Amino acid sequence: MWEQERGGTDGADGAEDRREGSRRGRRESGGRGGRRAEGREGREGRQELPPQSPEEQARAICLRLLTGMPRTRRQLADALAKRDIPEEVSEQVLSRFEEVGLIDDAAFAGAWVESRHRGRGLARRALAQELRTKGVAPTLVQEALEQLDSDQEEDTARELVERKLRATRGLERDKRIRRLAGMLARKGYPEGMALRVVRRALEAEGEDSEDAEDLTI
């Protein structure tokens, strides 16, 4: 009799356990199904943006480049070409940017000359070469260079020589002249001006430089 009662109790307990397991399984199944459905709805709810048109791409590229620093029209055109923007689209966008003042080659050239002459001591010849490589029109290059005259250029050359003069002390006279004049030549100064400035600097220092005009850089 004890065995029957235990068997009956065990059977009832087992049935109850099976019912609880079934309910738990349905809840878990429903939860997983709900999460899957929610995931599908989330993915379907995120609408992908349509691809940009070539005009939109060109505008975005130009604005990003202009945010860092001013650029010439040629620089921006080259950047658009590298990104396979059609030429007609590029011309249209660049012309619009010029109309609203976002591209201004004249202003770029003027600022470039002032900055590079003051910061690096570059002369007009070197500045003109840099502007040409950036695609600035010859007329705009000439206009920008007009802010520098020969007197100002020579003053800057003299300052550059004075900075380097101490480092050449101890060298032979001809070697000092060539080294200092060569430094000026690399910055775009005419040979005659470079030798004249160096000769005067050496004379002021007490160095005999009578034959400096006969040297070549």
- What pTM was computed for the model? 0.70
Which residue did the predictor score with more confidence, 38 or 199? 199
Residues 18-22 have a mean pLDDT of: 57
Fold observed for domain 55-103: Arc Repressor Mutant, subunit A (1.10.10)
Give the pLDDT score at 105: 98
Give the pLDDT score at 206: 80
Helix (H) or strand (E) holding 206: none
What are the residue boundaries of the structural domains of the chain, listed by start? 55-103, 104-148, 149-217
Q: Check if the beta carbon of residue 123 is closer than 8 Å to that of residue 153.
A: yes
Query: How many other CB atoms sit within 10 Å of the CB of residue 95?
Result: 11
Q: How many Å from the N-terminal Cα to the C-terminal Cα in the chain?
A: 125
Q: Check if the beta carbon of residue 98 is closer than 8 Å to that of residue 80.
A: no
Weakest mean pLDDT among 70-79, 114-123, 178-187, 208-217 = 208-217
Give the pLDDT score at 193: 95
pLDDT over 70 at 216, yes or no: no
pLDDT over 50 at 1, yes or no: no
